[in-house]
Amino acid sequence: MLVGQEGTELNSVILRGIVTSGTFDVIRSIKKWHDGEIILSTWEGDLPVLSVDKIVLSKDPGNCHLHNVKRQITLAKAGVDAAEGEKVLLTRTDVMHTVDCFEIIKDGKLTLLDFLSINPDFYFCPLRYGAQSQCTPQHRTFFKITDFVQWGYASEIKAWASQSVKDLLFQYAETYPYPESTIEQMWCVAFLSQRGYDISMESLLEAYDLRWTALTDNFVFMSHRDMGVKILKPAYRDLDEIRSRPWCLTSDIFNFV
């Protein structure tokens, strides 16, 4: 269900997730540099009065395995489907933005936070390095990237949260439940497979030679400082510390590939 007035804005910001007290600060941080469309994609229920242009309400599918895969893609797609802007920022209700992301978009690519994206050459050992997720050794987390924030032209964002990606993501979630894989890895693989890459969860090892080229062809990785991002969720307050972990695919490493 869509609540709000119709209208085409130059660019769109989509906030996905539940509304918390911090969401008001998130909206204020965005309005300091963005005067276009702001969309809230959240669950049906009572909401406080928020200074946004559209509210997209979805039925909560409820708790499910694999880091709530159905909930994340559901809110992302619902918000993206309602966006009318030429450029789109897909973010969360607990992420503040202080930089105009629409000035640093690269045509044909999605820009992502580099933290929690895993270097595909690194043999991931989650218990040793304190990561919160775990993947089987045969997957080597080749395409595990962060799902916190994405921005780009509308065509790229709509491809990232398309129905075909959603369907494939649901299929992967049933076949490769946590800890065999994570939502970030499955989402990336589903997206790349729909972009024409010969990649699937069934045969990640066979995509070894694509582990870097697929990333460089489709994504730009930036640090939270360059992106002007601050995550309000307590576990992610110290992004510098997270980026210092050996397995992190930092933008510095990425730039040398």
DSSP state string for 168-222: HHHHHHHHS-TTS--HHHHHHHHHHHHTT----GGGTGGGGGGTTHHHHHHEEEE
Q: How confident is the model at residue 140 (pLDDT cuts 50, 70, 90)?
A: low
* pLDDT for res 67: 54
Is 3's pLDDT higher than 80? no
pTM of whole model > 0.75? yes
- The span from the first CA to the last CA of the chain, in angstroms, equals 44
Closest CA to 186 of 168, 203, 198: 168
Domains defined along the chain, listed by start: 7-240 (3.90.550)
* pLDDT for res 65: 53
Closest CA to 227 of 207, 243, 211: 243
Beta-bridge partner residues of 43:
58
DSSP state of 233: S
Q: How confident is the model at residue 131 (pLDDT cuts 50, 70, 90)?
A: very low
